[in-house]
Each structure stands twice: as structure tokens, then as C-alpha cells.
């Protein structure tokens, strides 16, 4: 029982006086997968990092999906199940905590003049509980909300349907009010309770604290809905799972109100680093790119160049210090294997930042033979040319081929690196080549990088163990 003149809100701020009674029983949870990564945090028995469900788009899921919709035709369901050779798990409809909405949702389904609508498998019930929403949105009191929630949930359950109850703007709501309502709906058998960071105000620690507290008060599953107004939606979703949540709301490309909610791709990529085997067994990761392309085309937006996993820069390596290591062992600068998502990496070599190892790889791809010393000279000219003009891949290949031909030319006349260079560009190129040749610090850095990544390549170990080897440390198996 919690009583007092001032109670904290879910985000730790004081709120107006509220009296409430909190009761409930902790749910038993099986321990999460004990397999550890070197960068993982210490787990505990409540964490669901290796046992979670994602709510979102159907085609991505190997074992079916929970689809939130206001109407789904039987023909569409049949088409989906036929095309994907798996059953669509559930169709849930999102409604206000109001008996009129609940009745309409429950009665939805059957034949109409133009289509046949599937009956829903359950209802997602939501109502605002923050002082702001209670005053300016629906105008109802906490006592009214609790009683109405019990009424609507009892009605839905009497129809044999699944039901989730969620507060809206949870992190600006009074903590005692939240726990009071959640405990009440849990007692009558709600399947799932939801926490919503409706305005994106919460930070990971606040999320962990609230979910962990709620986990001790209800038996039901816990669902989270995190908005991304302040850039914390993925981190907040992960922390919710670590605290004992079981479900995470996502959307393709994070599309939603304002800055949207937890993006499906970014969230799954983050979870992949915790338990790769679990995620790959549950989700068809190769569907992410076509799924995002489908949605982007439908809503007429471009996928950001730096989008999680599928942006065209996601697995692009440009800096010379990165390229050398990536070519030796990709785990040095990639925590995610692009092949898991049907993607491929690209070592960008047509820039001022390129390194000689990237050029060496390209020389090999072109079927040419040069010594390391010759490749370094060629790299200097490519870097210099990149300061003179923008280079495409074709330009870089032309420079490599011209440099190679000049090495073995019997006429004694050098072929221009690019045929269309103006006199001013030729002069600038000569200056840049001379400047780069006088950069001992850069040359020394290249030498150090070569030594370090040679350790990685020779030992054939992953990136984390390689760092220890470079630093002269030893790794003991545990």
C-alpha cells in the first residue's frame, strides 16, 4: 500500500495528491539464454532479451505475426497464409476504453456488400492517464478510468477474445495510479498490459525502473510502445525487455505519429547482437529490405542513407584505417554480418580517405599484379585526384589501369591518369601528389594499421579477441 501527500510520476517527478492501493503477485519467468557476448551486460532472471515478441508487419515473421488493424479481409488473410506457407497469428483492433468502441470491434466481421471481413482475435484497449490527457483529452478521472477498464475488459473476455489494456502517456502519469489500474485489470485476467511513452519523453533508466516495478505487480505479459521524439525508442525498448517486458511495438521504418515509434529494422538489428541464434530462428531477416522498400514506395518516402541495416551506407567502409581491417576480418568494424539480412558490404575506394589496402583489393579484382610499393604509389595518386575532382568507381579503375600501363610502358611516355584532365587540374594533381608524399605521419599511421591488422589476419580470430592480441593481451577461454 502506498499513501502520501505527494506521489512520484512514472518518470520520477512529483504529482498531485493521490491515494491508492497496490497489490499483485510476481510472475514466474524462465531465465534468459545464458550465452554471453563480451560486450553484454549482466543478465538476470527477469530479462526477456532472448524471449520476446515483436508486434509489426506480418511477412517478416517465421512463426506468424500480431497485426494491428481496423479490418482485415478474409481474402487477404488467405492470400497471406498461402503465399507465406504459415498461419497469420492474430488480428487485433485498437480501440478506446469505451463500451461503444468495444461492441463495434467485437461485432465486426462477416459479409458486407463488397467484401468479407475477418472477425478480430482480440482488442487493444487504450486510455490516457497523465494529468495532461485527463484534463485536455477525455476529461475523466482515475477512478472512472479504472472502473471503465474493468467493464470493457470483462466484456471482451466474455466474448472469448484476447485483450490488452494500455495506459497512454504512461511516463507522465502518477506511478501509484498506474500500478493501481494495472493491478486491478490483472486480477480479472487481462492477457497483456501496455506501457506507452506517447510523447517520447522517457529515457532507458526510467523505462527499466517502471517495467521492473510493474513486473512485480502483475502476472500478465507486458507490452511496450515507445515513441522516438528524443531518439530513445530502440534503447527504451531494449531496456524494457531487460526489465521483464515481453512484447515490443514496432513499425516499418519507424513510421508513426511525429517521429514515429521503434523501427523494426533497428530494433531487430540490436536484438541480433544479444542472441543471434534466437533472432534468426524466429525472424526471416532477409525480408527486411524488400519489406522496407514496399512500405517506402507505398507512402512515397525515401529510405534514409544511414538507415539501420538497409541504408546504402549501412555496410559501406570508406576510411583507409577501416578498409584494411575489414578486408582482413569484417568483425573489426562490423557487429552485424550483412549476409544475415541478405545485404553486402562495400569498401569505398574512390575518395581522399581511401587506403592502399582497399586499392590492393581492387587491383586484384581487376586482375592486375603490382607490388605493395607500387600499389601505395598508385593510392597516393588516387587520393590526390580525389582532391582535384569527384571520382566515380570508373574513374578510379581508369587511374589504376593507367598507372599499371605506365609501369610497363616501353615508350617512356606516361599515359595520363585520366584522359580529360585540364592543364589546371594536371598542375593541381602534381601539387597534391607532392603534398601527400611529404606526410610522414600519415605513412607511419598506415604502417601501424598494417601491423595491427596483420595480427588479426594471421590469428584468424574475431574482432574482440583481435583487439586483445593487438594490445599484447592474452585471452583465456571460460
| DSSP states of 82-97 | HHHTS---EEEEEEES
465 in Cβ contact with 344 (< 8 Å): no
Residue of 446, 447, 459 whose CA lies nearest to 328 = 459
Cα–Cα distances in angstroms (integers) from residue 229 to residues 176, 204, 234, 343, in the given order: 26, 14, 12, 29
Lookup: cell for 393: 568507381
Q: What is the DSSP letter of 251?
A: B
Distance, first Cα to last Cα, the chain:
46
DSSP 3-state percent helix, strand, coil across the chain (nearest 5):
45, 15, 40
CA distance 337 to 92: 34
Lookup: cell for 357: 589496402
Grid cell 482480440 — which residue? Answer: 122
Lookup: cell for 343: 545485404
> Which one from 322, 348, 447, 464 is the annotated catalytic residue?
322
| DSSP states of 123-183 | EEEEEE-SHHHHHHTS---HHHHHHHHHHHHHHHHHTT-EEEEEEESGGGSBHHHHHHHHH
Task: Please report how many Cα atoms fall inside a 13 Å half-sphere around the Cα of residue 70, on the Cβ side.
Answer: 4
Whether 138 is a known active-site residue: answer no
Lookup: cell for 215: 513486473
CA distance 335 to 282: 20
What burial class does residue 154 get, using C-beta atoms within 10 Å of its C-beta: 0-12 exposed, 13-18 middle, 19+ buried? middle
Residues ≥6 apart with Cβ < 8 Å to 94: 68, 70, 123, 124, 126
Hey, which residues are catalytic here? 322
Amino acid at each position: 500500500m502506498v499513501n502520501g501527500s505527494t506521489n512520484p510520476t512514472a518518470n520520477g517527478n512529483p504529482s498531485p495528491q493521490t491515494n491508492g492501493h497496490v497489490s499483485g503477485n510476481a510472475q514466474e519467468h524462465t531465465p534468459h539464454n545464458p550465452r554471453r557476448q563480451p560486450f553484454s551486460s549482466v543478465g538476470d532472471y527477469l530479462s526477456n532479451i532472448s524471449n520476446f515478441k515483436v508486434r509489426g508487419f506480418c511477412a517478416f515473421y517465421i512463426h506468424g505475426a500480431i497485426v494491428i488493424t481496423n479490418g482485415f479481409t478474409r481474402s487477404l488473410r488467405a492470400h497471406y497464409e498461402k503465399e507465406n506457407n504459415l498461419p497469420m497469428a492474430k488480428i487485433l483492433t485498437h480501440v478506446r476504453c469505451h463500451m461503444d468502441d468495444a461492441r463495434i470491434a467485437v461485432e465486426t466481421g462477416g459479409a458486407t456488400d463488397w467484401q468479407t471481413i475477418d472477425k478480430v482475435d482480440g482488442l487493444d484497449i487504450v486510455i490516457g492517464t497523465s494529468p495532461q490527457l485527463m484534463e485536455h483529452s477525455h476529461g475523466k478521472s482515475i477512478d472512472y478510468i479504472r472502473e471503465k477498464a474493468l467493464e470493457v475488459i470483462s466484456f471482451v473476455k466474455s466474448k472469448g477474445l484476447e485483450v490488452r489494456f494500455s495506459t497512454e502517456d504512461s511516463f507522465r502519469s502518477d506511478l501509484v495510479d498506474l500500478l493501481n489500474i494495472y493491478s486491478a485489470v490483472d486480477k480479472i485476467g487481462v492477457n497483456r498490459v501496455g506501457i506507452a511513452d506517447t510523447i517520447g519523453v522517457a529515457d532507458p533508466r526510467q523505462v527499466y525502473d517502471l517495467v521492473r516495478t510493474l513486473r512485480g505487480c502483475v502476472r500478465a505479459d507486458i507490452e511496450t510502445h515507445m515513441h522516438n521524439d528524443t531518439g530513445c525508442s530502440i534503447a527504451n525498448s531494449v531496456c524494457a525487455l531487460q526489465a521483464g517486458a515481453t512484447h515490443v511495438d514496432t513499425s516499418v521504418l519507424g513510421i508513426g505519429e511525429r517521429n514515429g515509434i521503434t523501427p523494426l529494422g533497428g530494433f531487430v538489428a540490436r536484438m541480433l547482437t544479444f542472441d543471434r541464434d534466437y533472432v534468426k530462428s524466429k525472424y526471416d531477416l532477409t525480408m527486411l529490405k524488400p519489406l522496407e522498400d514496399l512500405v517506402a514506395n507505398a507512402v512515397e518516402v525515401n529510405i534514409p542513407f544511414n538507415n539501420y541495416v538497409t541504408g546504402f551506407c549501412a555496410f559501406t567502409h570508406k576510411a583507409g584505417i577501416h578498409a584494411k581491417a575489414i578486408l582482413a576480418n569484417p568483425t573489426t568494424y562490423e557487429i552485424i554480418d550483412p549476409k544475415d539480412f541478405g545485404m553486402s558490404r562495400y569498401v569505398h575506394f574512390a575518395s581522399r580517405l581511401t587506403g592502399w589496402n582497399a586499392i590492393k583489393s581492387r587491383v586484384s579484382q581487376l586482375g592486375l599484379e603490382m607490388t605493395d610499393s607500387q600499389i601505395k604509389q598508385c593510392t597516393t595518386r588516387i587520393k590526390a585526384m580525389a582532391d582535384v575532382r569527384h571520382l566515380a568507381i570508373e574513374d578510379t579503375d581508369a587511374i589504376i589501369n593507367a598507372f599499371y600501363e605506365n609501369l610497363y610502358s616501353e615508350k617512356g611516355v606516361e599515359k595520363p591518369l585520366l584522359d580529360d584532365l585540364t592543364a589546371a587540374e594536371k598542375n593541381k594533381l602534381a601539387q597534391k601528389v607532392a603534398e601527400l608524399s611529404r606526410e610522414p605521419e600519415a605513412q607511419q599511421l598506415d604502417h601501424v594499421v598494417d601491423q595491427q591488422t596483420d595480427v588479426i589476419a594471421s590469428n584468424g580470430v574475431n574482432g574482440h579477441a583481435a583487439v586483445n592480441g593487438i594490445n599484447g593481451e592474452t585471452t583465456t577461454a571460460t
